[in-house]
A and B are shown apart, each in its own frame.
Chain A
């Protein structure tokens, strides 16, 4: 398909049109022939089936009980939901959320729209974290050597051991992830003070320690600044995936989106330099693939160019040749300088010298105080890899007598493999606070499981000056105790988390604000809102220390080997989500692979090696002591030719439970690999040296093994494009993604839209829409592909997980999918566009006309309804759907795991085998909004009915509402000149519109865009 001259493809086979693609794309249509079974035999069998179904189906309904509460609180009405403000504990970013509580338990999490930095969005991890609450494999009571022990006994024994360690002046270490809770930090401080040799070591498994260290060098204080993308006019990012997984993606996405407002003609210019394709790279206006070893030289060149414009002569020696054409760097330097005060340079590298150069660039450009806030920095990442390295050394020397591990899994996410695990298991007192039996808890002498964040009281100050509360929304399930309660109990204060938090806030947070004088009122308001703004703690920084700045003259990229780049994925992060089946089945935003990690290679590198998708390759690292790695290859357009990328967070013990996650039938395959786990753990390829955790310092040689592992990749499932040789004569490619450049857009806002003339309707009065008419508009320019909408839809609508094998057979059940299209850009790079696609609720729906039992019909308010109880499973509707938006239940996917079923939404039917399902525009939410409005005698207000996807999107890319209301946002968006509809030429009249992608480029026509 093409928009003008741009040609789009989802997979390389599609681009080349090879037979591979045809075979795979036509898999939907392939059937196995039936065994020989004559007509009369068929009728006999059918008659027998109908007869027994009739005979067995008729029974009186079973006895049902209605059991009310004994004493019902006045705010609880059975059937109504209550929303409680809380803070997400999925990662350390601390986004605000609202927990939707029904019948005494949370069933859905939504972003808190009033939260100052998450602005109502919630990422895929945050959305999916609710399933962690209902996890039957969560530890329910303290353990000693794997056996149940009472909490009092555990406390007594641990305190006794600590007392003896104290008397012997033994070393006690607390190894944790970033803790943003001021109350916990205070309690921990007290515990540490009571011990002669105790330290708190913080590390982030996906570390930004070098960034903090660089600020210590340049500004005198170790800190992580707050980045203000909304004020940035020019953004240059060096391997910082700020829209995907870097530090606080929800916050950054919302701010980035605010800085790219086409309606107000205020659009930032974003350039990305990265070794592999990341979510942020897909949104960049210009993107270059740069090997990790070349970043230093690249930054040095750019610094030189910017310094020249600033009138500073650096007198540096000539660095190696720049990996990016100098003409482009000149242009970028000019743009940065021109926008100084509104520029932003980001660096995601773990090389301190590179971070210092980035700091210097920001200093020259005057970013400090405008787009970078040093006075009120972020507290979201506090890891110190130097401390971590000394701890690891101490562990190896056997010097640590007690190690307490909280919030991290060092046995899994640190390099060192079996040796480190052996060293950990030899620590005399190893206590883990893990929620599940992960690798570290397995080695621990005592496990004191902490509760889920939805069932305990906690507080956070993730961003300086914003203190948040995390309140429980359900009674704790087991005998868990939060870290705050544990530490306080060990300090002699055995109080509940609630009391401890109140005490701590009275002492520490309440004095930092002047708005309220009564603590109880202040507390109530903070708990109600979920957060409160207080005076930020002052961070004293020194003036920029120019002595810290050193050029990097030599590139360290190997010319004969591949640089192994290890990165976190949007779904697994550092491996903490390995227990979560939703996130395993979530197609990666870039590769669309599920249930596996893989080694990604550029098309050229793959061709040279002679590998295709799924061919297992051998990665041989040059460092001694490393086990060889065998992973299936995956071809990634846009990746640097000498880079192989592998995702972190896979191969976790927590994923062993998913071996048989899908339907167990005769042809079913396991969802795990040969190692019995999902994917492989590559943490041993990290390097902890010189006080920094390195993610791309290892170099590998690759070789083929001849083995194959088919990846469950959804990228060519449900393809809307038609190969060239199959198209009707004379027709062009389908313009599914339509895009343009900023220059063209400014001249003509409708540029890029391939408009089809409105065709005549044969049945004009079929749908009068006298009342509301529901429609949706998705802004493709805002969508980053983060896939939070996919997970939100899955949770809201009880969409099942089908397992790796079924995904391979095109049977993934996501109602909403994000199609990712590549297209050619200049200088041989690829452009990427994300298109969320769901049932388009067509007015002239091709599915409605072919259903033999009228299970899918059109409603009076514009919805294409799917009636599950009527559907007999003909699947003709899915056949006819041009958007392939329908999903069929090939099996009974529901499980008997009672605990997990508590997360199901009671307002949505759980479909059984043989029933078709699809996006309903969250009709249960529309009904709720309509009925509530009727109850109050009001109109349905714009925004009262929000679909799950719309509500969850951190970029606010989805607009939904009543098209018959001229003042609604969606009506206005439908009138937007950028709006087009997919496959408009089919005259199915979809209710979903899309806004064109507008890339901030100078070329005005698509011809100019090709290199």
Chain B
């Protein structure tokens, strides 16, 4: 008899109502502490619509849309590496050595100079000056001792979790258009994430490609059309694997 009593006393501290009270208190406490952190439930749609402000107001609409600079001109890593990469500042300088301000501002300075009878001064727009500041050069493209060079810290828009090893190369080299995943970037003033980039979304496309071709109409790139598939080396077939280790290793 004594044993049973002792056992039940012990059990009190391990289970029963005592435990329930403890757990409820803990749950309440953690909710109180963590509620302020619930500022963005992001489950449905992940980061779709994410459109962060960037350190320099770079407009894809102007460069990729109006001026028709190729995606791979700046994001050259996309066909050579896993990461498409943000262009290094020296890529920007390829043009912005010469292009220092919008056309309107330059014309305005030209007109003003003509009116005042002097040489037109170099106009540098504030956004483009940020590039020069990063490189520690002055408006005349010469090293400026008063500035300290610092790489530009862009905000990454399309983020995948660390356990996903996405590689741009097979997609770009298979002929997948950038817009398919990144949306109509050439119309965006500020880049935003258009697709939710969830695993299900990726897998759906992988499953569909082998059945209905890259464009959904049964068309593959010429070298990997179904008739040619059999004789094409395995590694070159348009073959979107749905093995887990394609992305998770």
Could you tell me which A residues sit within 8 Å of B by CB distance? Answer: 35-38, 40-41, 44-45, 48, 51-52, 55-56, 58-61, 63-72, 77-80, 770-772, 857, 859-861, 863, 865, 867-870, 907-909, 920, 923-924, 927, 930-935, 937-940
> Could you give 25 example pairs across A and B, Cβ below 8 Å?
A38-B15, A41-B15, A44-B20, A45-B19, A55-B31, A59-B37, A59-B38, A63-B155, A66-B86, A69-B88, A72-B90, A78-B81, A79-B82, A80-B81, A770-B234, A860-B241, A863-B243, A865-B245, A867-B245, A909-B162, A923-B249, A927-B246, A931-B170, A935-B79, A938-B233
Q: Would you list which residues of chain B between 119 and 161 have a CB under 8 Å from chain A?
A: 134-135, 149, 151-156, 159, 161
Contact partner, B34, options A56, A67, A72, A907, Cβ 8 Å:
A56
Taking A41-B15, A70-B88 as known contacts, 10 extra A-B pairs with beta carbons closer than 8 A to each other, sorted by chain A number, are: A36-B10, A41-B14, A60-B47, A66-B156, A67-B151, A70-B90, A72-B88, A79-B85, A770-B234, A937-B236
Q: How far is the CA of A861 from the CA of B155 in the complex (A)?
A: 38
Query: Are A934 and B236 closer than 8 Å at their CB atoms?
Result: yes
**Assuming A45-B23, A48-B23, is B155 touching A64 (CB within 8 A)?**
yes
Output the nearest chain B residue to A65 by Cβ-Cβ distance: B153
Query: Are A860 and B243 closer than 8 Å at their CB atoms?
Result: yes
Name A's interface SS: loop
Q: How far is the CA of A924 from the CA of B26 in the complex (A)?
A: 43
B residues within 8 A CB of A69? 88-89, 151
Query: Are B173 and A68 closer than 8 Å at their CB atoms?
Result: no
Output the nearest chain B residue to A37 by Cβ-Cβ distance: B14
B54 → chain A, closest Cβ, in Å?
10
Q: How far is the CA of A38 from the CA of B12 in the complex (A)?
A: 11
Output the nearest chain A residue to B163 by Cβ-Cβ distance: A869
Output the residue of B16, B149, B174, B234 with the most chain A CB within 10 A.
B234
A793 → chain B, closest Cβ, in Å?
14
B residues within 8 A CB of A770? 234
Query: Are B42 and A59 closer than 8 Å at their CB atoms?
Result: yes
**Assuming A68-B85, A80-B80, A935-B169, is B249 touching A924 (CB within 8 A)?**
yes
**Assuming A59-B42, A70-B149, is B19 touching A44 (CB within 8 A)?**
yes
Contact partner, B89, options A55, A71, A861, A908, Cβ 8 Å:
A71
Contact partner, B170, options A70, A860, A934, Cβ 8 Å:
A934
Query: Are A77 and B40 closer than 8 Å at their CB atoms?
Result: no
Q: How far is the CA of A908 from the CA of B31 in the complex (A)?
A: 35
Query: Are A927 and B235 closer than 8 Å at their CB atoms?
Result: no
B residues within 8 A CB of A65? 153-156
A648 → chain B, closest Cβ, in Å?
40
Contact partner, B77, options A79, A863, A909, A939, Cβ 8 Å:
A79
Query: Are A51 and B27 closer than 8 Å at their CB atoms?
Result: yes
B residues within 8 A CB of A72? 88, 90-91
Query: Are B15 and A37 closer than 8 Å at their CB atoms?
Result: yes
**B110 interfacial by beta-carbon distance below 8 Å:** no
Q: How far is the CA of A648 from the CA of B241 in the complex (A)?
A: 52
Q: Would you list which residues of chain B between 212 and 229 have a CB under 8 Å from chain A?
A: 223
Contact partner, B88, options A41, A71, A865, Cβ 8 Å:
A71
A726 → chain B, closest Cβ, in Å?
36
Contact partner, B248, options A35, A45, A868, Cβ 8 Å:
A868
B residues within 8 A CB of A77? 76-77, 80-81, 85
B residues within 8 A CB of A60? 39-40, 42, 47
B residues within 8 A CB of A52? 26-27, 30
Contact partner, A70, options B43, B135, B246, B248, Cβ 8 Å:
B135
Query: Are A68 and B87 closer than 8 Å at their CB atoms?
Result: yes
A residues within 8 A CB of B39? 60
Could you tell me which B residues sit within 8 Å of A by CB distance? Answer: 10-11, 14-16, 19-20, 23, 26-27, 30-31, 34, 37-43, 47, 52, 76-77, 79-83, 85-91, 134-135, 149, 151-156, 159, 161-163, 165, 167, 169-170, 173-174, 223, 233-236, 239, 241, 243-246, 248-249
Query: Are A863 and B245 closer than 8 Å at their CB atoms?
Result: yes
Contact partner, A38, options B11, B52, B236, Cβ 8 Å:
B11
Query: Are A920 and B149 closer than 8 Å at their CB atoms?
Result: no
Q: How far is the CA of A773 from the CA of B86 in the complex (A)?
A: 36
Query: Are B235 and A933 closer than 8 Å at their CB atoms?
Result: yes
Output the nearest chain B residue to A941 by Cβ-Cβ distance: B235
A residues within 8 A CB of B153? 65, 67
Query: Are A930 and B235 closer than 8 Å at their CB atoms?
Result: yes
B5 → chain A, closest Cβ, in Å?
15
Query: Are B11 and A36 closer than 8 Å at their CB atoms?
Result: yes
Query: Are B236 and A40 closer than 8 Å at their CB atoms?
Result: no
Query: Are B14 and A36 closer than 8 Å at their CB atoms?
Result: yes
Query: Are B14 and A35 closer than 8 Å at their CB atoms?
Result: yes
Query: Are B235 and A938 closer than 8 Å at their CB atoms?
Result: yes
Query: Are A68 and B83 closer than 8 Å at their CB atoms?
Result: no
A residues within 8 A CB of B34? 55-56
B239 → chain A, closest Cβ, in Å?
7
B residues within 8 A CB of A772? 234-235
Q: How far is the CA of A431 from the CA of B42 in the complex (A)?
A: 61
Output the nearest chain B residue to A940 by Cβ-Cβ distance: B235
Which 6 A/B pairs are nearest by Cβ-Cβ distance? A79-B81, A72-B88, A41-B15, A939-B233, A60-B40, A933-B235
Q: How far is the CA of A80 from the CA of B81 in the complex (A)?
A: 6
A residues within 8 A CB of B23? 44-45, 48
**Assuming A67-B151, A68-B86, A79-B81, is B42 touching A934 (CB within 8 A)?**
no
Q: How far is the CA of A66 from the CA of B152 in the complex (A)?
A: 9
**Assuming A44-B19, A59-B37, A64-B159, is B26 touching A908 (CB within 8 A)?**
no
Output the residue of B80, B159, B243, B246 with the most chain A CB within 10 A.
B243
A82 → chain B, closest Cβ, in Å?
12
Q: How far is the CA of A835 from the CA of B23 in the complex (A)?
A: 51
Q: How far is the CA of A826 from the CA of B13 in the complex (A)?
A: 66
B154 → chain A, closest Cβ, in Å?
5
Query: Are A909 and B88 closer than 8 Å at their CB atoms?
Result: no
Contact partner, A79, options B83, B174, B243, Cβ 8 Å:
B83
Query: Are A939 and B154 closer than 8 Å at their CB atoms?
Result: no
A residues within 8 A CB of B169? 931-932, 934-935
B16 → chain A, closest Cβ, in Å?
8
B130 → chain A, closest Cβ, in Å?
13
A923 → chain B, closest Cβ, in Å?
5
Query: Are A78 and B77 closer than 8 Å at their CB atoms?
Result: yes
Q: How far is the CA of A60 from the CA of B37 in the complex (A)?
A: 10
B residues within 8 A CB of A865? 243-245, 248-249
Q: How far is the CA of A251 from the CA of B5 in the complex (A)?
A: 75
Q: How far is the CA of A938 from the CA of B232 in the complex (A)?
A: 9
Query: Are A48 and B26 closer than 8 Å at their CB atoms?
Result: yes
A625 → chain B, closest Cβ, in Å?
58
Q: How far is the CA of A935 from the CA of B78 in the complex (A)?
A: 11
Output the nearest chain A residue to B37 by Cβ-Cβ distance: A59
Q: How far is the CA of A48 from the CA of B27 in the complex (A)?
A: 7
Q: How far is the CA of A37 from the CA of B80 in the complex (A)?
A: 57
B residues within 8 A CB of A908? 249
Q: How far is the CA of A927 from the CA of B155 in the complex (A)?
A: 29
B166 → chain A, closest Cβ, in Å?
11
A residues within 8 A CB of B20? 44
A790 → chain B, closest Cβ, in Å?
20
A541 → chain B, closest Cβ, in Å?
55
Query: Are B163 and A868 closer than 8 Å at their CB atoms?
Result: yes
B57 → chain A, closest Cβ, in Å?
16
A residues within 8 A CB of B79? 935
Query: Are B235 and A934 closer than 8 Å at their CB atoms?
Result: yes
A866 → chain B, closest Cβ, in Å?
8
B residues within 8 A CB of A934? 169-170, 173-174, 235-236
Query: Are A859 and B243 closer than 8 Å at their CB atoms?
Result: yes
A residues within 8 A CB of B233? 933, 938-939
A residues within 8 A CB of B223? 937
Query: Are A61 and B244 closer than 8 Å at their CB atoms?
Result: no
A residues within 8 A CB of B151? 67-70
A276 → chain B, closest Cβ, in Å?
42
B179 → chain A, closest Cβ, in Å?
20
Q: How far is the CA of A35 from the CA of B11 in the complex (A)?
A: 11
B residues within 8 A CB of A863? 243, 245
